[in-house]
Each structure stands twice: as structure tokens, then as C-alpha cells.
Amino acid sequence: MRATFKGTPKGSGAGSMQALYAQLLVGLINGSFYALLSLGLAVIFGMLNIINFAHGALYMMGAFVAYFLLNLGGINYWWALLFAPIIVGIFGMILERTMLQWLTGLDHLYGLLLTFGIALIVQGVFQNYFGSSGLPYAIPDQLKGGMNLGFMFLPIYRGWVVVFSLVVCLATWFLIEKTQLGAYLRAATENPTLVRAFGINVPRMITLTYGLGVGLAALAGVLSAPINQVRPLMGADLIIVVFAVVVIGGMGSIMGSIITGFALGVIEGLTKYFYPEASNTVVFVLMVLVLLVKPTGLTGRAA
Amino acid sequence: MPDTAIAEAPAKAATGGNILQVRNLEAWYGESHILHGINFDVNAGEVVTLLGRNGAGKTTTLKSIMGIIGKRTGSVKFNNQEIIRATSDKIARSGIAFCPEERGIFSSLDVRENLMLPPVVREGGLPLEQIFELFPNLKERLNSQGTKLSGGEQQMLAIARILRTGASFLMLDEPTEGLAPVIIQQIGHTIARLKKEGFTILLVEQNFRFASTVADRYYVVEHGKIIDGFSNAELAANMDKLHTYLGV
């Protein structure tokens, strides 16, 4: 069972439009997490050619780091948005330096199995100490309450998650598509040997890229903590859908991951309204259809 | 004639001090032993051409100097610094630039991004205005996708982007391969101009006619070894031998 925000059940009569808008909002919130996570996966896959199955565990670690920072260090949500991605990003870079870098040039399966193993270990350790139930993480005071938009009631924190995720996604897209650093990344995705022969330290760039992708997962974890609570299996529940999002968008496609993430969140939300029974499977049905029609994904390029 | 003697004799035609010294260079692709002890020198300001048949080891020699081949032994000294164990990014930053045979234009980058991709490693690189003067076509196509250019334009872009970096030693791998005669001529003019500007160029070519218009000296590579070497002045006297070596 996935632990995404459930929202209001389908209403009827005058309340049904409000219920539709509520489900659209739920879809956008879930889409925000899908987009942030699939963006990180796309960055990592594009650069390292690794299908990072540890992404869900690293998302969970982001939420736990925010929890520890608050409860052990008195560091609030706003600082956690900065520190948790950095701390988990450094953890990711250590993983890349000590384990993942040795898989360069090998079949995708090795990376998938290794990161799957890492995910199981990380989740197991957290489960051992914290069990399976959720730990509470309060919404920061500045984002409590809601706004009446006339056609629906908007909880401020949920609006914040959507806007902030969108800004982070677009900033990441800008970094990769429109800057010199991004040009290095894109070029190294195509031909790392030649990029290195131009004088660029590609192994260091790969490590930093993995750190960036992991940092995005951790950031999503912090954003999710006040909505979904902090649980060792929160990432495991989400990651399968996120992989479906990445497959639909196209592996390695940055904008594809962002658009598909938000779009599938909305489609899922609409399905919850129109045909709730299919809401948990609609993403996978779409994945199958896309794989049948365009195996490289909607915006992906053939290898 | 032993390899080392070949390396020393043509160097007399040098136009400047010794900039690259390759000794007993051996290289492997996996289990395949490709280079079996390459020896040669390049002097500052020269255009030196490696000639040889397909599979002789010319490209592998360039890649080994650039640090791209994983397993290599021997000695490669650039400006008297040993670089045989250096990684390719450090070798590039020491002032060597490499233009690969397949050109290496990145499809995810436009022409401007391809051109600006290699970082400036030292002062003295050509400014963009001068690069556009050499290759006017590129200026008109800055926003096109790199791989949408014609073969000749892609070759120009591949050469242009390493001229910005400040590297003084250029290694060009078969820059004329698959190009129309008029483009080959243009690339020949460019190489002559670069020589005048003070660049040192190590060229790999199968097109001997083209090489003869730009090179100061030649080395012939066969089975992963240098088997002969001569200067441009000695070219006429060596034509028969050369035809035999190249099988033309």
C-alpha cells in the first residue's frame, strides 16, 4: 500500500466539484514527490547509467535526518531543507566512491542489484531501531492553516510543497540544460572518455552528480515528513511508482521526468475521483501502454 | 633501422626544442597487445605526421599519449614532464589537446556549447573572433545541434573547440577522413595557419597527399612500431618505400 496523501473521498452534488479540486491538489502533491524523485533518478541514470534502487531509502533518510535534526539538535524545518539533502548527499557520494564506481561499464543489472541491496540494508537498519510505525513531524508554524480559494480550501503546507518542488525541479533543469556545468554533464553522459580528455575531472563530476540526485531525494523526504510522517518504509512504498514515472517519461530525460511526475500525479488524483478502484494501478497501466507504443519513454532517446 | 635511431634522425629538421618524447610506448586493449614499443619525438612548432595502414597503431599511439588507453607502459614526456601515469584530464591540463577520429561532437549540445565545452587550460588560446575567421561556417550555425552539421563542419568544430583551450600541442586524428576535397583543402590551410601561429601538431593520416602539404616530418607505423621516419625534404627520395609501406 502506498503512503501517498489520500485526500478527500469523492463527494456528490454541490460538494463534488470541491472533491474534484481536492483530488487535483492531492495529485499535484503526489506529483511533486514523483517529479523530485524521478528527476534525481533521471540525473543519476543519465550520468552513471545506474538504476538507483536505493533512491527510496535515501528519500526516507532525508525525512529521518530532518526528524533527528529537529528532535536531537533543535534544528527546524527550514534549516532541515538545506542540511538534510547535504547530509544524505554526502552519504550518497560515499556510496558512489566506495561501491558504485566499481560498476562502471558493467550491465545495468549489477547496479540495480547493488542499490537494491543497499536499500534493503538501510531500510532494515532504520526498521530495527524505529519499527514500522510513523514518527510525527510537525508542519512549521509559518505554513500551518489554509486559504479559502473560493472553489476549494487549500492547506498552505500542501501548496508550499507543490510550488517549492516545481521551483527545485525547474532550477535543476536549468542547471543541467542551460549552464556550462550542465553542458559538461550532458557531454559526459554521451562520451565521458572524451570529456575527460578535454581536462574535466569526470569521476569527481560523477560523484557530485550522484550526490545531487540523492540530495533531491532527501529534499523530497523532508518535504514529505509533515504530510506522510517519518517511516522506515516510506521510500519503499513510493519507489515503485517513481520507477514507473521514469519509465513513462524516458530514462535519463530531465524535463520528461518533471512533466511526467506532475502529470501522473494529477492523472492519479483524477482517477481517485472518477474511478477510485483504479487509482493505485493507473500509473502502471499507463507504463505498459507507453512501453508498448514507445519503449524509450515519452521523451527518452534511443540508446 | 632500430626505432630509437629513427626517432633521433628526423629530429634534426626540428624547428624548435623537443616538446614531446615518446619512448618504448606499449599499449593494450584488454588482452590485445597493440603498441610494441613506439619511439619518436616532436619538436616545438612542427607538424609531425604518423602514417600507416589501417590497424597499424596510429590512433592507439595518440590515445596512449592522451591517457585514454587503460593499460600502457613506457615513457611519454611532454615539456620534460613524465605523463605516462597521468590521467587524461591532467594530461589535457598540461597543454595537450586531442581531436578524435570520430570527431566527438555531442548530440545533446548545440554548436556553441560544443565549441565552449573544453575548459581553458592556460592562456594563449585563440579568441572566438579568430576561430570564426578560420571557420566562418560555425558562426552562422552556433544554435544548431552539433550533430546536424555536415561532416566538414563537424570536423571544423572538432578542431575549433580545442583551439580555444590554450593547449599548444594538438593531436589531430585523421581530420580529412570522409571529407570532400574542397573541405580537405580548407583543413590543410587551417593546419598551415595554426603552424604559423606557433601550434605544434601531431597528425595521424592515411591520406598521404594531404599530409605532404602540411607536414614537416613523417613517421611510419606498422604493427605497433615505428618502422621508418623522414623529413619533408627527404620525401621524394623515400616515395617508393612509402608506397610499399602504405600499400598504395
What is residue A15's predicted lDDT score, i.e. its pLDDT? Answer: 60
Nearest Cα of chain A lies from the Cα of B237 at a distance, in angstroms, of 38
The number of beta carbons lying within 10 Å of the beta carbon of residue B5 is 10
pLDDT (tens digit, 9 = 90+) per residue, B189-237? Answer: 999 999 998 999 999 998 888 888 999 999 999 999 999 999 988 988 8
pLDDT (tens digit, 9 = 90+) per residue, A134-180? Answer: 899 999 999 999 888 888 888 999 999 999 999 999 999 999 999 99
Name chain B contacts of A196, Cβ cutoff 8 Å.
87-89, 92
CA angle, residues B64, B93, A182, in degrees to nearest 5: 100
What is residue A302's predicted lDDT score, i.e. its pLDDT? Answer: 54
Max distance between CA atoms of chain B, in angstroms, equals 52
A256: cell is 520528461
A191–B119 C-beta distance less than 8 A: no
A193–B88 C-beta distance less than 8 A: yes
pLDDT (tens digit, 9 = 90+) per residue, B84-94? Answer: 999 999 999 99
Grid cell 610499399 in the structure block, residue: B244
Helix-helix angle A202-228:A234-249, to 10 degrees: 120
What is the separation of C-alpha A105 from the centre of its chain, rounded to a whole number of angstroms?
Answer: 26
For an interface test with B, the pick among A177, A179, A181, A196 (most B C-beta atoms closer than 10 Å) comes out as A196
DSSP conformational letter for B145: B
Gap between the Cα atoms of B56 and B177, Å rounded: 16
B127-135, long-range: CB within 8 Å, 24+ apart, which pairs?
Answer: B128/B164, B131/B160, B131/B163, B131/B164, B134/B160, B134/B163, B134/B190, B134/B193, B135/B159, B135/B160, B135/B190
A199–B67 C-beta distance less than 8 A: no
What is residue B248's predicted lDDT score, i.e. its pLDDT? Answer: 66
Share of chain B above pLDDT 90, in %: 65
Taken in order of first residue, the domains within chain B and their CATH numbers are 3-103+166-246 (3.40.50.300)
3-state secondary structure of A2: coil
Name chain B contacts of A194, Cβ cutoff 8 Å.
100, 104
Name chain A contacts of B91, Cβ cutoff 8 Å.
197
**Which secondary structure element, helix H or strand E, spans residue A282, and what is its range?**
helix A282-293
B117–A196 C-beta distance less than 8 A: no
What is the domain partition of chain A in residue ranges? 26-293
Nearest Cα of chain A lies from the Cα of B248 at a distance, in angstroms, of 32
B109–A194 C-beta distance less than 8 A: no
With CA atoms as reference, the chain A residue closest to B95 would be A199
**Which secondary structure element, helix H or strand E, spans residue B46, and what is its range?**
none
pTM: 0.84
- Domain A26-293 = CATH 1.10.3470: yes
